[in-house]
Amino acid sequence: MPPQMIVSFGMKYGGPNKQADNEIIDVRRVFNRNPYRNKKLRELRGTDEAVARDVEKTPGFAESYAYLRNTVAASNVAIFYLGCTGGHHRSVYLAERIGKELGCKVQHRDINKR
């Protein structure tokens, strides 16, 4: 049974507290293509199509995404946290996509922070 909610967040704002009813994954190592480094994408968010396409250019994206999605789907926690550096791009896109596919609620903790 998938989690009730997926929450994206930015590591630079501090991670959530690990508890028995949640799981936390830092997506920066696997999805290492960071849209923030592209000045044209910097002010956009993971909800924007251009950012999604950029994240999908990460080498091995399809396999890594499938593994992450399956990990989230198989978890039995209430809240699944996905973190990247600022919580604007990668974690937002991945949370949105997985949430839509699994029918989970999605929140973006740090999407509007600067």
Tell me if 32 is assigned to some domain: yes
Q: What is the mean pLDDT of the chain?
A: 96
Does any domain span residue 19? Answer: yes
Q: Is residue 16 part of a domain?
A: yes
Order the strands of the 22-26 sheet from edge to edge: 22-26, 79-84, 5-10, 105-108
pLDDT of residue 114: 82
In the block, tokens 């967040």 appear at 9
User: What residues in the chain have per-residue pLDDT under 70?
Assistant: none
Report the phi/psi class of residue 103: left, alpha or beta, with left for phi > 0 and alpha for psi in -120 to 50: left
The pLDDT score that the predictor gives to residue 20 is 87
Q: What is the pLDDT of residue 1?
A: 81
Tokens encoding 20: 């028995």
Residue 113 lies in a domain: no
Give me the count of residues in the chain: 114
**Ramachandran assignment for 84, one of left (phi > 0), alpha (psi -120 to 50 degrees), beta (any other):** beta
Cβ contacts of 3 within 8 Å, gap of 6 or more: 23, 72, 75, 77, 78, 79, 80, 104
Structural domains counted in the chain: 1
pTM value surpassing 0.85: yes
The answer as to whether 91 is a domain residue is yes
| pLDDT of 8 | 98
